[in-house]
Structure 1
C-alpha cells in the first residue's frame, strides 16, 4: 500500500469541462472530502481523528447538537486531549438556544471545506446528524459544476452490542457530572425543541429537577434512575434511526459507502479490542482513503 502522507497531499484533481460537441472547453478543479458515517457510539470520532493525523486532515463537525455551545458532557464532545491537535470546525460555534437548520449547515460547512482545501488539507466530515450530511452531499452534487467528490466510510456495530456500549457510555457520562451539567442549564420554561435543549439527556431530566428538592432521598434516587433509563432508551432508539438512515443512503440514494464492521472491536476488551479495531476498521480505512486521494480506484 502506498499510504498517502501529509507531504504527498494533492487534494485537487483536474476535471475537464465538456462542450456540446464533446470538445474539452476548460479544466476545472474538483476537490476531495471524506465523510465518516455511523450511529452514535460506534467510534466515528476516533476514526476521523486518526485519519486526519495520517492524511493532513481537518475535521468538520456535522452533529446538529454539538454545533451549539455548552453541554459538553451530555453531547459527548471531543475533548482537547482526544482531538490530538487536529482542528475541528463547527464545534460549539452557535449559542445554546439558537436554532440551526440544514441550510445553515450547508453554508458553514461549505465555507469550512473551502478554507481547509485552500490550505491544502483534507476536509473530514463527521457526526451523527445524517440529515445534515445528506443535505450537504445533495447540495454539492446538484451544482452544475460540482466542486467536491466524497469518500464515505461507515463505522457499523451490531445493535445488541452497540446498545451495551451506549448504556456504559451513559453511566460514564453520569460519573463525569452529566446531571450537574444539565442542572446548571435547567429552565422550567425552556422549549425542548430548540437548540442544545433537544439533546438526549436534557428533557429526560426535566421532571427530576422540578421535584428533587421536594422528595426524600429514596424517592429522589428512584426518579433519577427512571430518567437515566429513559436517556439510555432514547439513545438506543437514536442509534437505530441513524443506522436505518445510512442504509437508505446505500439502498435508495445509491451512495457508494465503504462499510466497516466494528462489532468485534466493541465486544473485546483491552488489547483484544485495540487489535480488532486496527484490523477491521483502521487498516481498511487507511487503504480506502489512500486510494481515494491518490485516484487509485473509483471510490
Structure 2
C-alpha cells in the first residue's frame, strides 16, 4: 500500500458497498409464447482498485515554508529521501536560469539524488507569474504522484505557494491533501546567519558571477532573475570606471552591506506572510533556532534532533493516518509565534 494514498480499508469499503442490482420482473406472457426473456442489465464495473488507491482518492503533498536561509531545501531533501519524494521549487527567483550563487540554487550534491523540478526553467529576462507557477507546479506534482512519488513543494515565495494551494478555485486542494511545515528561526539569530551566508556567497564568487552577467544597458531590475538580491545592489560598483581604488572598495563594501540588509528585510517579509497563511491553513511550525546557534557537527546533530526527526514524524503520521496534529511536534515548540512589529519594520 502506498504511504500517501487511500488506505486498504477504504478500498474494501468502496468495493463492498456497491448498489445491489435488481432483476427486472419476469414477463409471463413472453414466457408462455416461448419467447426469450430479456437479459438483465449487466452490473456496473467495480471501482478501479489497485494496491494503493481507488478512483476518487486524493493524493497527498507536503509544503515546506520558511524565510530565506532557514533550511527549507535541506528539510525537503530529508523528507524526499525518507518517503520517496520529489521536490518542486517554489522560489520565484530560482525558477529562472542563471545567477546560481546569487539565487542560492541547490547544488547537485545538496540534491542528494532527489529529483528537483522548476529550477532554472524560465529564461533570465522572462516574467514567471504566480499563475505560471500554479500551472507548472500542478503538472510537476501530478507527474510525481503518477510515478508513486510524494510531491514536496518547497520555497520562500509564499505568493507562489498561496496561488498553488488556493488559486484556480482551490483546484490543487481538490486533488491533494496538504501537510504544511514551517521551518522558523528567531529573527536576531537568522539575521546573523544571513549576514554570514552573504560573506560565504562572496567567497564562492557572487561578485564575479554578477559581473560576468552585467549589462550596462540594463536599468530595470524588476524582472526575471535580475530581481535577485545582489544584482541591483552591485550595479553602482560595476558601473564605476574611475581609478580610485579606495572608492571602488568603498562601493563594493556598501553593496555587500546592502545585500545583507535587504536579505534581512526579505526574511521579515517572508515570515510575516507565513504568519498570515498560518491563520488560514493548518501550518505546523518547527523552531530551528538552536541549529543556527551552533556550527559544524553540533549544528548537524541539532538539525536531525530538532528539525528533521520531528518533521519526519509529522509527515509519517500525515501519510499513514491522513492527518497530523500540531502537537506531533515537540511540546515546547509553539504552533504559532508572531513576528515582532519592530522586526517587520526593519
Q: TM-score, normalised by structure 1?
A: 0.90
SS of residue paired to 2:174: coil
Change (3 A) 1:78 1:143: closer
Among residues 165, 170, 189, which one is paired with 1:142 in the alignment?
A: 170
Between 1:198-207 and 1:275-284, the stretch displaced more is 275-284
Give the superposition deviation at 1:296. 5.5
Distance 1:71 1:113, change over 3 A: same
Aligned match of 1:129: 157
Task: Give the structure 2 partner of residue 157 of structure 1.
Answer: 185
1:233/1:89 Cα in 2 relative to 1: closer, same or farther (>3 Å)?
same
Task: Show CA shifts across 1:81-136 (max 9, x none).
Answer: 11111110000111000000011000000000000000000000001100000110
Matched residue, 2:303: 277
Report SS of the residue matched to 1:259. Answer: strand
Runs of 4+ in 1 over 4 A off after TM superposition: none
Separation of aligned partners in 2, 1:298 and 1:141: 25
Structure-2-length-normalised TM-score: 0.78
Contact 1:34 1:151 in 2 (8 A): yes
The verdict on how the C-alpha distance between 1:169 and 1:294 changes in structure 2, with shifts beyond 3 A counting, is same
Matches within 5 A, 1:37-56: 37-56=65-84
Matched, 1:185 2:213: yes
What is the 5 A alignment of 1:3-22?
Answer: 9-13=2-6
Match 1:101 to one of 112, 129, 136: 129
Cα distance, 1:144 vs structure 2: 10
5+ long unaligned stretches in structure 1: 1-7, 17-22
Describe how 1:1-299 pairs up with structure 2 within 5 A: 9-13=2-6, 28-139=56-167, 142-143=170-171, 146-190=174-218, 191-211=220-240, 213-251=241-279, 253=280, 255-295=281-321, 297-298=323-324
Q: Work out whether residues 11 and 117 of structure 1, in 8 Å CA contact, stay in contact via their aligned partners in 2.
A: no
Seen in structure 2, the aligned counterparts of structure 1 residues 145 and 289 have a Cα distance that, compared at 3 Å, is: closer
Q: Does structure 2 retain, via aligned residues, the 8 Å contact 1:260–1:281?
A: yes
Rg larger for: 2
Q: Distance between the aligned counterparts of 1:257 and 1:104, measured in 2?
A: 24
- Separation of aligned partners in 1, 2:85 and 2:289: 26
Aligned partner of 2:50 in structure 1 is: none
Q: In 2, are the aligned partners of 1:9 and 1:55 still within 8 Å (CA)?
A: no
Distance in 1 of aligned mates of 2:186 and 2:128: 31
Aligned pair count? 282
Instruction: Report how far residue 295 of structure 1 moved.
Output: 1.6
1:184 offset after TM fit, Å?
A: 1.2
Q: Is the 8 A contact 1:140 1:148 kept in 2?
A: no
How far apart, in 2, do the equivalents of 1:163 and 1:281 lie? 19
Task: Confirm or deny: 8 A CA contact 2:288 2:307 kept in the other structure.
Answer: yes
Q: Which runs of 5+ in 2 are unaligned?
A: 12-17, 20-46, 48-54, 326-346
Q: Which has the higher strand share?
A: 1
Give the CA RMSD over aligned residues: 2.0
For residues 257-286 of structure 1, give each alpha carbon's deviation from its aligned partner in whole angstroms, at most 9, with x where no partner exists.
Answer: 110000001001223222221111111001
